[in-house]
Structure 1
Amino acid sequence: MSSKLAIILSVLFFGTFCGVQGQSKTKVLLVGSYHMAGTDDPLKVDSDNMLSPKRQKEIDEVLDQLQEFRPTKIFVEVMPFLQAHWDSAYILAEKGILPTDGWAGSESFQLGTRLAQRLKLPKAVIGVHWKLSDTTSNSPFDQMYRNYQNAVSKHFKTIKEDDNVWWTANAKSVIASFQKTYKEIAGLPVKESLRIINTPEFSKKLYYANNIMIMDKNALDSGVTGSISNVVRNLQIYTNIMSNISASDQRVMVVYGMGHIESLRHMFEGNPQMETLSYSDIVK
């Protein structure tokens, strides 16, 4: 490489680096949650009614501190095609009318919509979830990925069950550990239960369970296929969040199932325009 070319590349790199460094970073608060309104997931917290006076008081204690962060937008685990429904629910909530579709006790409503009410945001929450079976998008990627999933499904139908075992002894112990933790936190105050599942240790362990554990025994690529599915979902969620963040947003909050948080954290921490914060950074 000539000295002249080296100088030009150095100037270009330095200019780009300084440009990124000089930008005001958007603070992204990641709040992982269990599914407060229940879930079909095999691993779950069987909590009591989040609408009870006791739980509402506990949630108020969390909201008191989250409110200090003052996010301008709140992103939640809701499919985008349901946005109009959640916009309407926000208007009704301002009149004291709760949703009757089962979502009132969810973390999206209790931590998202209720915080938006306190902050008087123009929009309560923004749905950024992605699931191939539920998306109404027909983008080129969605079409290709749908074809891929269909082909994989046909392949697995030809595999004998004995040849397609994911779970190792290690996996069984990990699942048992989650079951124990979820049983313990079910009776704890909301602030404490969220603190436990948002610790780095728990988050990394859940990341392993969702993305790595299923590859420990990778018969006929079954583990890789399962992991790809989870990774693709989180990439799409991240993309949906980023497409809704504008230059004027100095602080945004993401309220999501804890199983997605570690993957999202990796992506936001790798983005030089973002500064990532955790639940324990805000809620003490």
Structure 2
Amino acid sequence: MKKIALLLVFTIALTTVSAQTKKKQILLLGTFHFENPGLDVAQINTFNVMSDKSQKELEIITDKIKKFGPNKIFVEWNYQKQDKLDKFYNRNTDSLLHKKADEIVQLALRSAKKLGHKKLYGIDYNDADFPYDSLVKGMTAAKQFDLIKKNEELMKKYETDQNKKIAKYSLTELLLDVNTKAANEDNISWYLETAIKGGKTDNFVGAYLVSEWYRRNLYMYALIQKLTESKDDKIMVLLGAGHTAMIREFVEHNSEYEIVELATVLK
């Protein structure tokens, strides 16, 4: 009887440990801006997500997100203005879906409503600096003409490639494309291979820009963790692909989470 009792205790202990170490699943859904405001360094054409074809795709995509079943959805909205996001979320859903092309509405809100969520969670941090003009001036002052040329060529190539895809791909294909390993690596490599070198040896404008970009994303990642409760088994993070590429790097060093690929959810 003692052996049976000890075995039972051991089995319960193992089950408890297993339950405690179960990883939270995180769907990192990187996207391009559906309503392109022209504020990014790279100028990308606007894709028409309001077309009948794209709207049908969005219904399919969000149905599959519903099947995945995230407990919370985090979006690129200033965390200090959560009250405004709450009011926005509670507006007439049909009206928003027919009038607002923004990805927060078309992907996040549409998914959250299907899931019966009461709110979306804003995690954007907008107090970080991004001194791109100073970076270019720093390169010029340092006579880093090869670096300037490389930077211009990279930007031009990115714009050309993305605009070709926008003209050719469906919405689903575009979303899958910006979430590939290659796309994530391209998003990060510009900061660590090009921008960081900008400026003379006593001018760290490039490194400062990179550090501010990291800071913004680290703060967003901190908010994801703070707002994710123990009862939340699955979460979804909808941000610009440049952000999700960075957050992916952070998540890969966190044993409490496992990344679920968009391609797996949409298959």
Question: 2:156 matched to 1:176?
Answer: yes
Change (3 A) 1:62 1:210: farther
Q: Which amino acid aligns with 2:141?
A: D
SS of aligned partner of 1:255: strand
Alignment of 1:112-123 (within 5 A): 112-123=108-119
**Quick one: which of 221, 243, 250 aligns to 2:226?**
243
Cα-to-partner distance string for 1:148-171 (whole Å, 9 max, x where unaligned): x7xx9xx99x97952375844433
Question: 2:131 matched to 1:132?
Answer: no
Residues in 1 aligned to 2:226 and 2:143: alpha-carbon distance in whole angstroms: 38
Question: 2:188 matched to 1:207?
Answer: yes
Cα-to-partner distance string for 1:184-225 (whole Å, 9 max, x where unaligned): 222321100011111101110111124442023442222111
Alignment of 1:252-263 (within 5 A): 252-263=235-246
1:75 corresponds to = 74
Question: 2:66 matched to 1:62?
Answer: no
Matched length: 244
Contact 1:69–1:282 (Cα < 8 Å) also in 2? yes
Residues in 2 aligned to 1:164 and 1:226: alpha-carbon distance in whole angstroms: 19
Residues in 1 aligned to 2:205 and 2:48: alpha-carbon distance in whole angstroms: 38
Cα-to-partner distance string for 1:234-277 (whole Å, 9 max, x where unaligned): 11010111110000000000001011112101111111111112
Change (3 A) 1:82 1:22: closer
Residues in 2 aligned to 1:76 and 1:223: alpha-carbon distance in whole angstroms: 28
TM-score (structure 2 length as normaliser):
0.81
Cα-to-partner distance string for 1:3-28 (whole Å, 9 max, x where unaligned): xxxxxxxxxxxxxxx96994221100
For residue 177 of structure 1, report the CA deviation from its aligned partner: 2.4
Unpaired runs of 5+ in structure 2? 1-15
Contact 2:188–2:242 (Cα < 8 Å) also in 1? yes
Residues in 1 aligned to 2:55 and 2:139: alpha-carbon distance in whole angstroms: 49
2:52 corresponds to = 53
Change (3 A) 1:121 1:159: closer
CA-atom RMSD in angstroms: 2.9
Cα-to-partner distance string for 1:60-105 (whole Å, 9 max, x where unaligned): 22222222211010001110133222222222234x33289x8x21
Contact 2:198–2:207 (Cα < 8 Å) also in 1? no
Unpaired runs of 5+ in structure 1? 1-17, 134-148
Alignment of 1:261-276 (within 5 A): 261-276=244-259
Residues in 1 aligned to 2:165 and 2:138: alpha-carbon distance in whole angstroms: 39
Contact 1:35–1:44 (Cα < 8 Å) also in 2? no
Residues in 1 aligned to 2:69 and 2:84: alpha-carbon distance in whole angstroms: 24
SS of aligned partner of 1:24: coil
Q: Which amino acid aligns with 1:24?
A: K
Question: 2:209 matched to 1:226?
Answer: yes
Residues in 2 aligned to 1:119 and 1:231: alpha-carbon distance in whole angstroms: 32
TM-score (structure 1 length as normaliser):
0.77
Tell me which moved more, 256-265 or 47-56.
47-56
Contact 1:67–1:119 (Cα < 8 Å) also in 2? yes
Contact 1:211–1:231 (Cα < 8 Å) also in 2? no
**Quick one: which of 24, 27, 40 aligns to 1:26?**
24
Contact 2:76–2:239 (Cα < 8 Å) also in 1? yes
Residues in 1 aligned to 2:138 and 2:96: alpha-carbon distance in whole angstroms: 48
Q: What fraction of aligned residue pairs are identical, expressed as a percent? A: 22
Question: 2:96 matched to 1:98?
Answer: yes
